[in-house]
Amino acid sequence: MSHFVTRFTAAAAAFVLGGTLLVQSPAAAAVAAPAVTAPAATAAPQFKAVVYYQKYLRRGGYATYKLKITNKGYEGQAYALLAGAFPAGTRKIKVISKPRSITCDVEGRALGCWIASLDNGDTTTLTVRAWLSPSKRGTYTTQFGVTYADSPDVDVDELIDEMRFKKFKSKVV
């Protein structure tokens, strides 16, 4: 994932969380933020995201992504951050269905969703639609990643840094 897309996704996620992380100086943020950090990465992922999408798209049409996020063994209440990056040739991105406990924001071609209170074994689903420009041809590659925290006050940049993005390719015909 390019540096620009990573930073842009972090900015979108920060905006979802209230935007205060974008305007504070690092010293003020260190004083104001509680000492809560993201859990260390383990060998087995604690959260699993399954993405359903179309393999073939029409030029000028739209791509629909159904994302299913499951808490796989993290004990206690957890919060998840879902981030997505869409390629050039995307006209519009919209979350078309989601539960109330999910807060999403779209900025440009980046998507950030904060999933509140996902207990062990719980699953939540959201649907995202991206409209393609009429001139888009070739491969349409979208990236999604999910990570978790035990507190909603965690530093978003740390979550983004530990997040692993997975690519989903569709052919535009």
Question: In the beta sheet, which residues pair with residue 169?
Answer: 141
Say whether 26 sits in a helix, a strand or coil.
Answer: helix
Asked whether 109 and 11 are in contact (CB, 8 A), the reply is: no
Q: How many CB atoms lie within 10 A of CB 18?
A: 11
CB-side neighbour CA atoms (13 Å) of 152: 13
What mean pLDDT is predicted for residues 73-102? 90
pLDDT in tens, 7-56: 545 555 554 445 433 333 333 333 333 333 344 444 455 788 899 999 99
Topology of domain 3-172, CATH = Immunoglobulin-like (2.60.40)
Say whether 127 sits in a helix, a strand or coil.
Answer: strand
Question: In the beta sheet, which residues pair with residue 79?
Answer: 149
Confidence label for 136 from pLDDT (cuts 50, 70 and 90): confident
Q: How many CB atoms lie within 10 A of CB 116?
A: 15
Closest CA to 13 of 79, 98, 100: 79
Higher pLDDT, 89 or 47: 89
Q: Where are the domains of the chain?
A: 3-172
